[in-house]
Amino acid sequence: MDSYILTPSGTHLDGFAEVGETVSFFPVLMHSCANRKVYDGLIRWKLVFNGAETLAEGEGSSACYSAGVTFRAERPGYYKALFEAFRKGEKVAEARIGVLAKPEVLRPTLPVPEDFDSFWEKQLAELRKVPVAPELTPLDTSETVAAFDLQAPCAGDRPVSGIFMRPVNAQRGKLPAILLPHGAGVRSAGSTRFAAWAANGFLALDLNAHGIENGLDPQEYEAINQKLGNYPVRGFETGDPEKRLFCSL
């Protein structure tokens, strides 16, 4: 079965732009195995501002080299282009790329909730009751880095679940550390390119978002995703932060 990769690039690859600048993003659809450009596909795109406001939509042939999304960043905020690639009527790949315009002037749109500090302190108090007892299971080792599955008890009914990597010559107390938590998504830890941190002298821990087992088959993660349902907003209708899934994990 053919597989494809949709790779966007653009004029502002550092992710930042000034207000009033023109920004362009260009998607390229490739055969993932043969590393060849796909000429008979369709690419649809949508430009979204601050995650909510759709500014423009369009589509074009994957054969075109210069087609993509071009816009002027009129306001401070986050502009994100979403691309979907189709071949023979079926979606075969998707990708996204974005740019922040004038981020230094952005301010919170809502005030901090009055009970935020008390809620957060309560969560920290529950966490302090949990013993620090990580379990490391060796996975594999190369000449430069070693990888481990990490499971650790946590407040609530789910553990901390991640993949830990370190240089093979790591000495206790001698290296900086970096924590790489996931955003939304139901997937194993270790799927990001965090091995480079370990290769460059860091203790690196990549955490999955739900305290689930790492290294499962994709179908098993899809089953977990279906079971969780629309988890990003589960419990929001109650108005009780203790009953929101993302607050209670």
pLDDT, tens digit, 9 for 90 and up, residues 100-118: 999 999 888 788 889 999 9
User: What pLDDT does residue 244 have?
Assistant: 78
Q: Are 206 and 183 in contact (CB under 8 A)?
A: no
Of the two residues 153 and 51, the one the predictor is more confident about is: 153
Q: Residue 249 has what pLDDT?
A: 42
Bridge partner residues of 26 (DSSP): 9
Express each pLDDT in 187-227 by its tens digit: 999 976 788 999 999 999 999 989 999 999 989 999 998 88
Task: Please report the pLDDT score of residue 165 as a whole number.
Answer: 95
Give residue 248's pLDDT band: very low, low, confident or very high (50, 70, 90). very low
Span 4-44, pLDDT tens digits? 999 999 999 899 999 999 999 999 999 987 678 999 999 99
The DSSP line for the chain is: ---EEEEEEES-TTSEE-TT-EEEEEEEEEETTTTEE-SS-EEEEEEEETTTEEEEEEEEETT-SS-SEEEE--SSEEEEEEEEEEETTEEEEEEEEEEEESGGG---SSPPPTTHHHHHHHHHHHHHTS----EEEEEEE-SSEEEEEEEE--SSSS-EEEEEEEETT--TT-S-EEEEE--S----TT-SSTHHHHHTT-EEEEE-SSSPPSS--HHHHHHHHHHH-SGGGTTGGGT-GGGSHHHH-
Taking phi first (over 0 means left), then psi (-120 to 50 degrees means alpha), and beta for anything else, what does residue 31 get? Answer: beta
CA–CA dist 78, 17 (Å, integer) = 10
For residue 9, give the amino acid letter.
Answer: S
User: Whole-structure pTM over 0.85, yes or no?
Assistant: no
pLDDT at 247 over 60: no
